[in-house]
Structure 1
């Protein structure tokens, strides 16, 4: 069974040399691993600018549309803060499914019928052996950042020079993640009177919360199945690919707005709890998805 030994050794070598056995890089395989800090900086700066520009644009428009001597409609926002949760998840998986079958020819079966007819049927005996080896590695990087809306409205942030090419990092690098439109919808609800967002930190569970989540998932997968046919042995004749490699990237951004607590350093209990629950839900969701995949 030298052929079987050769196939198994080759499968194990491919598995150990592929992804799934080392900590995945956040950067793509075609990128330099040393570019990872710049990539993360680009993502964080892009998200920071997205949130700042959305809030600043709404406040400026509100101020311009407020009659002289009247209080701006969005003045309540200055007592709020923004909690940003950023999850960068990369999962790499490899699997190999070698199989070998041996076929032993047997004597033909000959059947004679009345009238002298003769039917010859070839015969053989086959034995198949197969197995599956797989490795799965997951990396989850999380960032939690808190900003006061009053600080976002007044800070000087350089949003130029951000590399917004998704191929160089993440789809979160897009210039428009829908944050401005989402906030405008919430402001319309407030102004219509259908929702009255809290302006002060009253009872611990007496605040309204605004939350916006954007998630991108990009999956690439490839496989190869070489086929060998010898006498009397054949390899890789099964339905499963001989070698399969998969890379799954999930970039999840959650922006939560709510009243600031009395310390002024974080969101009040209800919106802060909502932000934590959102992050926990994203983590459980990714874990469930990974465990359910073959």
Structure 2
């Protein structure tokens, strides 16, 4: 009876302690320069790094890629933290009997044991999702040293620390260069800008999708609709304790399993999509729609005036 009471009290204390082990993971800091010990990433630092790498990747894009100059970036950042704790106590109540002795069979030990066990597991998670967009013109105005409105000091002049996870080199320059590779040199014909399909008369043979000044032509579509780059980091931390002891009438936790454990999993996802900015796309589609409906409006007005 005393052993059962002891087990009940010990289990209750353990469960109360477990309840205090798992709490909602802390929010990721907005400012900062390094990842904290709990795995959270300063969001402001991620924004700086993405803008600096996009600027570095697009500052020397050849002028012949006029369509690319009108593009922008949409960035989706997910910071996911999962914390878990569990306790699985087990005990055995032992009641040894006097050994059985037989002249013919020998001596045999006897006893009775009662195993008791239980378990509780708790999990807490937090997901932070941040989305922001930028166009290349904005990025170059902020980070180009020659720009009159540059804000490079706010971005630490893009001399960002080289850490781990999202605080490391994201490789955006290599990514953009590899994507534009099919457009270079003799392979340019693989993905070449084509005139938009419309009901207007065909353009003269000399029509080109790149103006001599290098400015993008509104009558051309980019050879690429959009490009996407995804990065994911996962960090798993765990700890456990497995004590074991044996007394005359009591045997402690089974050492094969952990008595208590705790862990945390941090997942950082970054998705960057490059494509025509909303403003450019909206203006182009609006102009195209107006060109298509203009004849219908003109005919409707003419019929109304003729009826009068």
Global fold match (TM > 0.5): yes
Task: For 2:92 and 2:193, locate their aligned partners in 1 and report how far apart those are by CA, in whole Å.
Answer: 69
Question: Cα–Cα, structure 1 residues 119 and 164, in superposed 2: closer, same or farther, change >3 Å?
Answer: farther
SS of structure 2 residue aligned to 1:49: helix
Pairing 1:116-131 to 2, within 5 Å after superposition: 118-131=105-118
Matched, 1:45 2:48: yes
1:186 is displaced (CA, Å) by 0.9
Question: Cα–Cα, structure 1 residues 12 and 185, in superposed 2: closer, same or farther, change >3 Å?
Answer: same
Larger radius of gyration: 2
1:227 to 244, 253, 264: 244
Matched, 1:138 2:125: yes
| Mapped contact 1:99–1:238 kept (Cα < 8 A) | no
Aligned to 2:167: 173
Residue segments in structure 2 that go unaligned for 5+ positions in a row: 30-34, 143-149, 195-215, 286-308
Task: For 1:201 and 1:140, locate their aligned partners in 2 and report how far apart those are by CA, in whole Å.
Answer: 41
- Equivalent pairs counted in the alignment come to 241
Matched, 1:187 2:184: no
Question: Cα–Cα, structure 1 residues 178 and 29, in superposed 2: closer, same or farther, change >3 Å?
Answer: closer
Q: Structure 1, residues 175-196: CA drift from partner, whole Å, max 9, x if none?
A: x211100100011123323334
Aligned to 1:271: none
Question: Cα–Cα, structure 1 residues 238 and 197, in superposed 2: closer, same or farther, change >3 Å?
Answer: farther
Pairing 1:269-284 to 2, within 5 Å after superposition: none
Aligned to 2:11: 8
SS of structure 2 residue aligned to 1:229: coil
Residue segments in structure 1 that go unaligned for 5+ positions in a row: 63-71, 269-294
The TM-score normalised by the length of structure 2 is 0.68
Q: Which moved more, 1:96-105 or 1:229-238?
A: 229-238
| Mapped contact 1:210–1:258 kept (Cα < 8 A) | yes
Task: For 1:235 and 1:201, locate their aligned partners in 2 and report how far apart those are by CA, in whole Å.
Answer: 78
| Mapped contact 1:214–1:254 kept (Cα < 8 A) | yes
| Mapped contact 1:51–1:179 kept (Cα < 8 A) | yes
Question: Cα–Cα, structure 1 residues 22 and 137, in superposed 2: closer, same or farther, change >3 Å?
Answer: same
Question: Cα–Cα, structure 1 residues 2 and 200, in superposed 2: closer, same or farther, change >3 Å?
Answer: farther
Task: For 2:11 and 2:218, locate their aligned partners in 1 and report how far apart those are by CA, in whole Å.
Answer: 65
1:26 to 25, 28, 33: 28
Aligned to 1:251: 268
Aligned to 1:89: 80
Matched, 1:17 2:24: no
The TM-score normalised by the length of structure 1 is 0.71
1:225 is displaced (CA, Å) by 2.0
- C-alpha RMSD over aligned residues: 3.3
Task: For 2:27 and 2:139, locate their aligned partners in 1 and report how far apart those are by CA, in whole Å.
Answer: 32
Question: Cα–Cα, structure 1 residues 26 and 150, in superposed 2: closer, same or farther, change >3 Å?
Answer: closer
Task: For 1:17 and 1:257, locate their aligned partners in 2 and report how far apart those are by CA, in whole Å.
Answer: 45
